[in-house]
């Protein structure tokens, strides 16, 4: 569970990366990430403007 600024617990998402042994099927954890829930929906679904030198 993660908490918001108000201290209200809400579920989070944990993403784990494993290496799997082909012979035994044993999983070895490599990395684990905790994805933090957004505070609200995005304001727009448009892509941000490109900042490359060609598009400026």
Chain segment 1-56, per-residue pLDDT in tens: 545 555 556 567 888 999 999 999 999 999 998 888 778 888 888 888 888 888 87
Residues 6+ apart with CB under 8 A from 11: 1, 2, 37
**Ordered DSSP codes for 7-37:** --EE--EEEEEEEE-TTT--EEEEEEEEEPP
∠ Cα 5 11 25 (to 5°): 140
Enter the pTM of the model. 0.41
Say how far apart CA 32 and CA 45 lie, in whole Å: 28
- Please count the CA atoms within 13 angstroms of the CA of 45 that sit on its side-chain side: 0
């Amino acid at each position: 569970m993660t908490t918001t600024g108000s201290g209200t617990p809400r579920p989070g998402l944990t993403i784990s990366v494993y290496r799997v042994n082909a012979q035994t099927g044993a999983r070895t954890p490599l990395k684990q990430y905790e994805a933090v829930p957004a505070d609200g929906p995005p304001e727009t679904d448009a892509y941000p403007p490109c900042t490359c030198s060609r598009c400026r």
